[in-house]
Amino acid sequence: MTKHKEELEHRLKLRNIKLSDYDDIRDIMVSIYKDQGGAWTRQELKNQIKAFPEGQICIEDNGKVVAAALSLIVDYAKFGDNHTYDQITGFGKFDTHDNEGDTLYGTDVFVDNEYRGMRLGRRLYDARKELCENLNLRSIIAGGRIPGYSKYYDQMTPRKYIDLVKSKEIFDPVLSFQLANEFHVRKVITKYLPEDTDSRAYATLLEWINIYYEKDEKLIGNKKSIVRLGLVQWKMRRFNNVDDLMQQVEFFVDTVSGYKSDFCLLPEFFNAPLLAEFNDMDASEAIRNLADYTDEIVSRMRDLALSYNVNIIAGSMPEYDGKKLRNVSYLCRRDGTIDKQYKLHITPDEQSYWGLQGGNGIKVFDTDAGKIGILICYDVEFPELGRILAEQEMDILFVPFWTDTKNAFLRVNTCAKARAVENECYVAITGSVGNLPRVENMDIQYSQAAIYSPSDFSFPHDATVAQASENAETTIVADVDLDLLTKQRKAGSVRNLEQRRLDLYSVQLKRKK
C-alpha cells in the first residue's frame, strides 16, 4: 500500500476525551464557533473531564480528534426549563455536575468541517444515548440552536418555524438533525445563548427520553424483562371425575414450572371431558351442570399456582349464576390472587347449542411478569379488543381457544398474528387436540399452539417465537423479552401504536349501564 493510500484510509475510533486532545478540539471549535465565543480554554476542558470523564466523548481518525460531544449530569429540577447555557454549565466549569442527578445534559456536539457528511454526529448521539441508558438516567436534555431561523425571523414566529422544520418544509442544519435522532422539542427558550445571532437568541429545549429508565431500582422483586411462557396443547381424553382431570392439569403445571416458566396457559374448555357424565341430558342442560365444577377447579388451580410458583391462565370454563351462562377464563396468580376475563363474543354455535352469553368488560391484568390481556378464542378475531388492551400498556396477550376444524383454527391463528403486529405485543395461543366421540358438540379438536411477536428486526424473522406440532399433545416453553417491546414502540421500523392518526379515529370501550 502506498503512503498516499495510507493517508486516505480512515481509522475511526470512538473513545473518551483526554486533555492531550485539547489542540484538536480547540481547532474544531474555533472554526465552527468563531462568531459564538470560539473554543473552551485548556483549563475549562480540564475541569469538564475532571467533573465527568465518561461524558466527554470524541471520535478520532488516525490519532486526530475530528468530532466530539460534551455532557454532564444534572438534577434537572434545580434548573427547570427556563435556564441559560451558562447557568447549567457553570459558565463552562461543569461545577453543576451532580452524580446523583437524573438527567444527562448535552452541552456541545461538533464535527470537523472536513468530516461533514460522514454522519459522525449520529455516532456521537448514539454514544450519548448508550451512556444515558447505562447510567439509568431519565433522559437527555439539550438546548439546541436554530441557525436557519435568521432567514425567516421577520416572516414567522420561532414556533411556526419549528413546526415547518418538523414537517420538513424547512431544513435547519441543527434542529433537523436533532429531530432525526429521536429528540423532541419541549419548548422554545429565549436568551439561551445571547451571542447566537443566527438563532436570534432563541433556542429549542430538546429531550430524548430513556425508555429503559428504572426509578428506585430494587435489589430483588424488580419488573422482569425476560418472561418465560409455558403453553399446554391439551389432549381431550375421558376423565372419571375432577380428581382425574386435575391430576392431568398438575402434570402439565409441574412440567412447565420445572422449566421456571412465569405463565402456564391452558386451552378453552379444557374441562369439557367432564361433560361425558351428563350425556343423557340436553346440551344446554349438560353445560350448566359442568359449570358446577368451576369453583372447585379454580380453587385447586390457585393452589397449584402457589405451590408451583407459576401464574396460571386456566383456559376457560362455563360459569352459571342461575340466570346467565358465560364462558370465563381465570387468572390464578402465584401470589394467591385471582382475576377473571369473560368471553365477550359468542359464536352462533355456542349460542344455539348452549345459550351462552357474552361478558361486558375487558381489562389488562397486572402480574409480576408484565401486564397481560386475555381474549378467549373468537374474541381475538375482533381487532378493537386488542387495541383497547394495547392502550392500557399490555405486554402479552393470552388466547385460550377451542377449534374443531382447520378453517376455524386458521381464523384464530391468523388474527392472533395480526394482533401481535398491530399492537406491538406478544400473543400466546393454545388449544386442544384429540376427540371426545361421546360428548355432544365437543367431538373433534384442531390445534397448533404458538407464540407470536411483532415483525421487526429485534424479533424472529417470521414473527414466530415458538410453535408446536399440529394436533399433538405437547407443551411450548419459550422466553419473550419485554424490553424489546419498549424498543419497538419507540424506535421500530414502523410504530403502529405511536403513529395512529388519533385526529381521525379512535377505539373506545363503552361502559355498559
Would you call 58 a catalytic residue per the annotation? no
Residue 312 DSSP SS3: strand
Helix 383-390 and helix 406-423, axial crossing angle in degrees, nearest 10: 30
Q: What angle do CA 367, 368, 372 make, to 5 degrees?
A: 35
Among candidate residues 86, 199, 77, 92, the one with its CA nearest the CA of residue 138: 77
From 268, 350, 381, 424, the catalytic residue? 268
Task: Region of 74 please: left (phi>0), alpha (psi -120 to 50) or beta.
Answer: beta
Identify any residues that bridge with 81 across adjacent strands, giving them in sequence order: none
CB neighbours (10 Å) of residue 476? Answer: 22
- d(C-alpha 420, C-alpha 418), whole Å: 5
The verdict on whether 268 is a catalytic residue reads yes
**Contact (Cβ atoms closer than 8 angstroms) between residue 119 and residue 84:** no
Catalytic residue among 343, 350, 417, 425: 343
- Which residues sit opposite 238 in a β-bridge? none
Q: How far apart are CA 495 and CA 477, in angstroms?
A: 28
How many residues would you count in the chain? Answer: 513
Select which of 58, 132, 264, 377 is catalytic: 377
Write out the three cell numbers for 24.
484538536
Residue 248, C-alpha cell as written in the block: 392431568
Interacting residues of 4 by C-beta distance below 8 A, sequence separation 6+: none
**What HEC string does 402-431 produce?**
CCCCHHHHHHHHHHHHHHHHHHCCEEEEEC
The whole-angstrom distance between residue 419's C-alpha and the CA centroid of its chain comes to 14
What does DSSP assign to residue 497?
T
Helices (H), 277-366: 283-290, 294-308, 348-354
> At which residue does the C-alpha cell 379454580 appear?
298
Contact predicate 134/57, CB 8 Å: no
Q: In angstroms, what CA-CA distances link 178 with 135, 145, 169, 187, 190?
A: 22, 10, 16, 14, 19
d(CA 246, CA 273): 12
Task: Judge whether 377 counts as a catalytic residue.
Answer: yes
Measure the CA–CA gap between 91 and 44, rounded to whole angstroms.
9
List active site positions.
Answer: 268, 343, 377
